[in-house]
């Protein structure tokens, strides 16, 4: 069983395109049901994580295929869903 903290700093690779998407920086958890909804990869180009840059990439749980020791493989055929960084 993985803890939410175990997902941090794992590299995410999209097996649909072979693209390295980045490293997990956060997770979205449904606290009421105790389920993980998605992993979040920060968008690039931010100055100290505060100003500018791209929107974060949100990978839904349904797209995650394998969780390894250092890598998470996802099957994400569409362009990444992005959200505004908080």
pLDDT of residue 20: 92
Q: In the chain, what are the domain boundaries?
A: 8-76
pLDDT of residue 59: 92
Residue 3 corresponds to which tokens in the numbers above? 């803890």
Q: What angle do CA 56, 79, 2 make, to 5 degrees?
A: 55
pLDDT of residue 34: 86
Q: Kindly give, in sequence order, each residue whose CB lies less than 8 Å from that of residue 68, ignoring residues fewer than 6 positions away.
A: 10
CATH H-level superfamily of 8-76: PRC-barrel domain (2.30.30.240)
The tens digit of pLDDT for each residue in 26-82 reads: 999 999 998 889 999 987 655 555 555 568 889 999 999 999 999 999 998 775 555
pLDDT of residue 67: 92
Q: How far apart are CA 34 and CA 16, in angstroms?
A: 28
Contact status, residue 56 vs residue 43, Cβ threshold 8 Å = yes
Between 21 and 53, where is the model more confident? Answer: 21
């Amino acid at each position: 069983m993985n803890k939410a903290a175990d997902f941090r700093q794992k590299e995410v690779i999209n097996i649909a395109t072979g693209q390295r998407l980045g490293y997990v920086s956060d997770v979205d958890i449904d606290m009421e049901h105790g389920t993980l909804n998605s992993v979040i990869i920060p968008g690039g180009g931010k100055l100290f994580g505060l100003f500018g840059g791209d929107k974060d990439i949100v990978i839904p749980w349904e797209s995650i295929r394998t969780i390894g020791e250092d890598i998470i493989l996802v099957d994400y055929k569409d362009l990444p869903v992005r959200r505004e960084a908080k």
